[in-house]
Amino acid sequence: AAANFRSLRTGFQMHCQALKHGLDSHLFVATTLIGLYGDCGCVEFARKVFDELRQPNLVAWNAVVTACFRGNDVAGAKEIF
């Protein structure tokens, strides 16, 4: 649990830096954040990052569906899929 908290805290810091530098819509950065939030079980944050992408690619779609499954949000994964 502590490792997930540290990862989530790091994720928030990374997300803030991405926003600050205008990189939040960059596919690689966004997909990394989606994966990190998914690993921590924060599906709502993963979905928010995904929903803000203008043109998500296959990797981003896969990352958000995986995040939903890791966060036990099967309905959300089905909705996206």
How far is 71 from 37, CA to CA, in rounded Å?
Answer: 9
Residue 4 pLDDT:
61
**Contact of 25 with 53, CB cutoff 8 Å:** yes
Share of the chain above pLDDT 90, in %: 42
Indicate the pTM of the whole model.
0.83
| Average pLDDT score over the chain | 87
Average pLDDT over residues 23-50: 90
Which one-letter DSSP state was computed for residue 54? S
